């Protein structure tokens, strides 16, 4: 089942639910994995990992790691 809204993201990822940008990336990754035949659980785990690596602009500028 593809995910379309920020509410869908919020059920599966705290980090991605706090930011529109992270939510958009989360949905894109998860939906692409589902389309390629991955299970929902696998798609959720991988999308959480990708969204978790996205940092803010200040983090990139000053070398801080994102949560």
| pLDDT above 90 (res 8) | no
Q: Does 44 fall in a domain?
A: yes
Mean pLDDT computed over every residue of the chain? 83
Q: How many domains does the chain have?
A: 1
Q: Does 67 fall in a domain?
A: no
| Per-residue pLDDT, 60 | 65
pLDDT band at 41 (very low <50, low <70, confident <90, very high): very high
Spatial distance between the Cα atoms of 48 and 35, rounded to a whole number of angstroms: 17
Domain limits for position 51: 6-62
| Per-residue pLDDT, 59 | 65
Q: Does 1 fall in a domain?
A: no
Identify the burial level of 7 via C-beta atoms within 10 angstroms of its C-beta, where 0-12 means exposed, 13-18 middle and 19 or more buried.
exposed
Q: Does 50 fall in a domain?
A: yes
């Amino acid at each position: 089942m593809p995910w379309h809204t920020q509410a869908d993201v919020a059920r599966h990822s705290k980090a991605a639910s706090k930011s529109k940008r992270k939510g958009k990336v989360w949905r894109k990754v998860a939906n692409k994995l589902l389309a390629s035949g991955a299970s929902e659980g696998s798609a959720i785990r991988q999308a959480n990992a990708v969204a978790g690596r996205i940092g803010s602009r200040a983090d990139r500028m000053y070398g801080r790691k994102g949560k």
